[in-house]
Structure 1
Amino acid sequence: MFQTVLGAYGLNAEKFKIEPFGSGLINHTWKVYSEKLAYILQEVNTAVFRQPQNIAQNIKTIKKYLDQTAPEYLFVAPITAANGDDFVVIDNHFYRIFPFVENSCTVDFVHQPEQAYHAARQFGKFTRMLSAFNVQKLKPTIEDFHNLPLRVEQFKKALAQTSDERISEAKFAIEEIIRHYNIEEQFVKMVDSGALNLRVIHHDTKISNVLLQAETGIGLCVIDLDTVMPGYFISDVGDMMRTYLSEANEEEQDFSKIAIRTDVFAAIHKGYMEEMDQVLAFTEKHFFIYSGKFMIYMQAVRFIADFLNGDIYYKTNYPKHNLLRGLNQIDLLNKYIAKESEFEGIIKKINESSVNDAKTTLN
């Protein structure tokens, strides 16, 4: 396979070392390198991305726009094969190659607020640079990816069809999902009222999807653009809240380790709003804190629905794995909600500081 794929790009596989690369869970990724050259080889998971050509078309459309409007931006796009194709297809497996950015790195977890700041700023910058782009030119790469009403409906359907045993095992989780139905109801009102604007959104803002300078840790650009499509800013901000705020991730079984780091929340707000403050509408800014509830709740709903359905979507490693994941996210959600007033104070303080800095500059 490697020789065929690399050969399509004019490369000889025998002259390169090839090894697995990164921590992504969807696509298969390898680093292909020699003393002088380095690339990233990736196989697109077509079970998740059923129309990979939509990904290629979206990336090409955005690249063309940024080449004209922000040519200095580091946009890591796939390299076109020698015959001009976007992918090398072997037995219905889709492969592509990216340039490897030297002196760059990624991290898998947020250890310091500064990392959250640089990541949030890069995701904000990406959406800001595309604020004048016609979002209707992009095609969905995963249908209904962050459609919360659909996820809640799927939960209700699973609840109606599951066994009494699973209902008993998930009793607390089910009660918590139902208790927080207002999160989904608020989302519907926001969309129906036009309070949220459709934008170019990354949709997968985990920290490993930001390329950092290896020496300084300063953000360079966002990567892994397969989920870039039309959406709402609460998806990107909410996913950062869900994955950055607690050092314990969704696999943690000891819920006492799930804790909200308010300094990381402040870093996310500061970094994202430095880029997006002039782009977001006044009404949208009111939903910055809500975004965390939106994404954490949606992931909890998906885990519990999958448990009720008999664990048919997410891979599980032990009995009740999805139930535990769902309970983990419910715990994170409740701890997040308990911090809302503190979050409001943090945002107020940041805004006041920005106003004072502006006055000082003017004087």
Structure 2
Amino acid sequence: MSQSLSIPASVIKAYRQLQNTVRVEKLGNGLINTTWKIQCGEEAYILQKINHHVFRDPYIIENNLKQIAAFIHSHDADYQLPLPLKTLCGEELVFDTAHGYFRLFPFWEGSVTHTVLKTVQQAFEAARLFGKFAKKLNGLDPKLLGASIPDFHNLSLRYHQFMNAVDQADRNRKERASLLIHFLQEHAGIVEAYESYVHAGTMQLRVMHHDTKISNVLFDDEDHGLAVIDLDTVMPGYFISDLGDMIRTYTCAVNEEEAALDKITIRKDFFEAIIKGYLSEMKDVLSDAEKKLLVFSGEFMIYMQCLRFATDYLENDRYYGSSYPGHNLNRALNQMKLLQELIQQKPAFENSIAGILDNIGT
């Protein structure tokens, strides 16, 4: 096994399953955790290194997974959850003093993941699976879980961080971002709406996934959804986080790295597929008040991501990093255009949702 893959010998020795490792392949290009596929004879496994700079207490994740598994399997013993395997000592995490925390998962044979969503069916299936996951966890007391990333989707905090960045930013950066800053301040009503919904209890606090990108869904070779994966961010939150991030990342044909703003549009058929898929599982879970916030969920997540990119640009690219001058500014402008597109089409989307609700029942 190549040393360049940075898997410590202590981790390999910790698992009975890895004693006959024959091939190691690094998977994906994730920005947070590092993942490998390890072939051991006829069996394959997924090894993951947890980024403890993002997940500062990996044992919160471990406890959350135990709570999730116990609750779901007490109601549905056959539901498939990607749970870590135990070490020879019976632990679910391996800590190496020089390299950090690791855990091992079975590899789901016959499964595939997509880094880019291409079809309406993929959008429907992904939304259905994330809806099913949330439905299975409905009734689990959120207080039993910890926040693996505190304030991850706290829009009020993100806006406060943005305004601080505006106050302290370099004059040149502030000037280059002036249009963006004006837009974000002009649309601060999204923050006010979010705060009013939270304070009024319009949205129920539930256990949510919080990272519903397409690469966190397992498909078969015919694009039928199998399971959701990467449960590190499962913690207490609101449904607008999960549905909103699907709207943010599935509806546009290009991603947040696209700098040509004329390419950023929202595909109505993909939007409707997300809503149909999610409501096929969650229609009886969401309250009538929550069903009125389906489009708002997209506004919430797109606006928040725009804030985060803008803040990072104004703070000299400390968090996301930058591959070229103005990288985070372009990312923020990308999300600004996406939000403008969603707002423009909101009346049509509200009509579509009404029809979808009528067809599937409430």
Report the TM-score, using the length of structure 1 for normalisation.
Answer: 0.95
Deviation at 1:221, TM superposition (A): 1.1
- Is 1:148 aligned with 2:155? yes
Return the alpha-carbon distance in structure 2 between the equivalents of residues 195 and 281 of structure 1: 9
**1:107 aligned residue (114, 123, 138):** 114
Letter in 2 for 1:175: H
1:122-271 counterparts in 2 under 5 A?
122-214=129-221, 216-271=222-277
Return the alpha-carbon distance in structure 2 between the equivalents of residues 103 and 158 of structure 1: 47
Deviation at 1:14, TM superposition (A): 5.2
Letter in 1 for 2:253: E
Gaps of 5+ in 2: 1-6
Deviates more, 1:67-76 or 1:198-207: 67-76
Gaps of 5+ in 1: 359-363
Letter in 1 for 2:156: P
Return the alpha-carbon distance in structure 1 between the equivalents of residues 173 and 9 of structure 2: 48
Deviates more, 1:21-30 or 1:329-338: 21-30
Instruction: Say how many residue pairs are matched.
Output: 355
Return the alpha-carbon distance in structure 2 between the equivalents of residues 144 and 11 of structure 1: 37
Contact 1:251 1:325 in 2 (8 A): yes
Deviation at 1:13, TM superposition (A): 5.0
Return the alpha-carbon distance in structure 2 between the equivalents of residues 300 and 139 of structure 1: 26
Letter in 2 for 1:288: L
Return the alpha-carbon distance in structure 2 between the equivalents of residues 158 and 23 of structure 1: 29
- Is 1:321 aligned with 2:327? yes
Residue-by-residue CA offset, 1:314-357 (whole Å, 9 max, x unaligned): 111011111111011001110111110110121122223335xx
Identity %: 44
Contact 1:3 1:12 in 2 (8 A): no
Report the TM-score, using the length of structure 2 for normalisation.
Answer: 0.96
Return the alpha-carbon distance in structure 2 between the equivalents of residues 220 and 353 of structure 1: 25
Return the alpha-carbon distance in structure 2 between the equivalents of residues 46 and 208 of structure 1: 21
Contact 2:306 2:336 in 1 (8 A): yes
The equivalent residue for 1:40 is 46
Residue-by-residue CA offset, 1:150-209 (whole Å, 9 max, x unaligned): 000001111111122111110111011111101111000100111010011000000110
Return the alpha-carbon distance in structure 1 between the equivalents of residues 178 and 309 of structure 2: 14
Contact 1:43 1:94 in 2 (8 A): yes
- Is 1:88 aligned with 2:94? yes
The equivalent residue for 1:54 is 60
Residue-by-residue CA offset, 1:92-118 (whole Å, 9 max, x unaligned): 510110000001111112111110100
Return the alpha-carbon distance in structure 1 between the equivalents of residues 30 and 263 of structure 2: 24
Return the alpha-carbon distance in structure 1 between the equivalents of residues 139 and 171 of structure 2: 52
Return the alpha-carbon distance in structure 1 between the equivalents of residues 148 and 21 of structure 2: 35
Letter in 2 for 1:161: Q
Letter in 2 for 1:25: L
Return the alpha-carbon distance in structure 1 between the equivalents of residues 251 and 23 of structure 2: 37
**1:73 aligned residue (58, 79, 83):** 79
Contact 1:30 1:41 in 2 (8 A): yes
Contact 1:109 1:247 in 2 (8 A): no
